[in-house]
Every structure is written in C-alpha cells, then in structure tokens.
Amino acid sequence: MKSLKDRILKDGMALNETVLKVDSFLNHGVDAQLMYEVGTEFKNYFMDHGVTKIFTIESSGIAPTVMTAIQMDLPMVTLKKQASKVLKDDVYQTTVHSFTKATDYELTLSKKYISNEDKVLIIDDFLANGEAALGAIRLVEEAGAQVAGIGIVIEKSFQPGRQLLMDKGYEVYSLARINKLGKGIIEFVEE
C-alpha cells in the first residue's frame, strides 16, 4: 500500500534494529483518513473470503479494524488483554507472551461474541513474533469457528511471525512489509 509506505518513510522512526515508532499516525496520534484507506485495502483483499466477523486486539488494532468493519459491513470484536472479572465459564481465555515487551497477558473473548459458524478475519497494527495473532487464533478455534485470514498494517518481515503463521496454514496479508530497520534505516520487502 503505497500511501502507507510513504507515510512510514516520512513519519516513522526506527528506534533501533527492531522497533519502528509510528506514534504520529497509528499508535498514538491516529490518521483516520489513512486508516480508512487501510480499511479499503483489507476489504478489497478479504471480500471474497466469506468473513462473518472481524477481530482485533486492544488497543492499536482498533482504528484500522473499525475502518475495515464499516466498509465490509461486518461486526467487529475487540479482544481484551486482561483476565475476565466475570464468570470464567462465559469466556475463552489464553495466555500470550510478548517478546517485545517481555510480559505475559491474558487474551479474553466473551463466548457471546462468537459462534462455531463464524469465519473470522483477525486484524492488528503490527506483526512481530506472531504471538498475539496466534493467541487470537486459539480463541477462535476453541470456539469451533474458523480463521478466514490475518490482516496486518505493518509487518516486520525480519521477525518470525509471518512465517510461523504461514507454516500453520493461515493466510497473512500485510499492507507494509519491512525488511530492515536501523538508525535512520527503513527498508521494505521488494514485492
């Protein structure tokens, strides 16, 4: 997605070899117009995948996912990153390890918001090691539903997430794929 890549080059900042800061349009400030275009891209790609629901993970996945859900005219669910305070029987829950942040959290989905007939598109802002996406997949499959695909705004292709998900048979569509980061360096995968 050209406008996204241009924006990453203009406003993104590589903090080091692994972390790209995009606070001005995705993680803190949110460029709603750009997010709308992100939604259009996901819609065009996933429109024939039989998607019934779109899932994301709080919090930075929400903006691009809302924009996709509104254009695909589908319901959206935000997976929570904390253990449910209500009855355990009412939720699906799985532990996710974040390598980037060196912490574990409980990814939680109320049983009310999924059925075994759903085909779920999972959208997130970043794909690094793939642990968040794998956690979301576990919740979907525990409910007996299917994963329709995974949509990512920014993929760090030099980290193992994409390959891990593809090896397990999931389709991954990323709008910007980054090959290399470094001080003052942002390089995309040639496509």
φ and ψ at residue 95, rounded to 5 degrees: -85, 130
120: Cα separation from own chain's centroid: 12
Between the two ends of the chain, the Cα-to-Cα distance in Å is 11
Q: What part of residues 132-161 is at the interface with ligand G4P (CB under 6 A)?
A: 132, 156, 161
Q: Give least dist CB 68 to Na ion, A.
A: 15
CB 183 within 8 A of CB 5: no
Q: By CB under 6 A, tell whether 183 contacts ligand G4P.
A: no
Q: By CB under 6 A, tell whether 19 contacts ligand G4P.
A: yes
Q: By CB under 5 A, tell whether 31 contacts Na ion.
A: no
Q: By CB under 5 A, tell whether 131 contacts Na ion.
A: no
Q: Give least dist CB 48 to ligand G4P, A.
A: 26
80-88, 90-98, 123-131, 139-147 -> range binding Na ion (CB under 5 A): 123-131
Q: By CB under 6 A, tell whether 64 contacts ligand G4P.
A: no
Distance CA 183, CA 161 (A): 23
**Strands 20-21 and 13-14, bridge-based pairing:** antiparallel
Q: Give least dist CB 89 to ligand G4P, A.
A: 27
107 binds, among ligand G4P, Na ion, none (CB under 5 to 8 A by kind): none
Distance CA 153, CA 109 (A): 22
Q: By CB under 6 A, tell whether 78 contacts ligand G4P.
A: no
Question: 156: annotated binding-site residue?
Answer: yes
44-52, 60-68, 83-91, 168-176 -> range binding Na ion (CB under 5 A): 60-68
Using CB under 5 A, which of 37, 41, 118, 125 touches Na ion? 125
Distance CA 188, CA 1 (A): 11
| DSSP code of residue 51 | -
Q: Return the closest-CA partner of residue 40 out of 120, 134, 158, 151.
A: 151
Residue 136: count of CB within 10 angstroms of its CB: 26
Residue type, 7: R
> Binding site residues for 5-phospho-alpha-D-ribose 1-diphosphate, as ranges?
128-132
Which residue ranges make up the site for ligand G4P (CB under 6 A)?
19-22, 27, 58-61, 98-101, 125-132, 156, 161
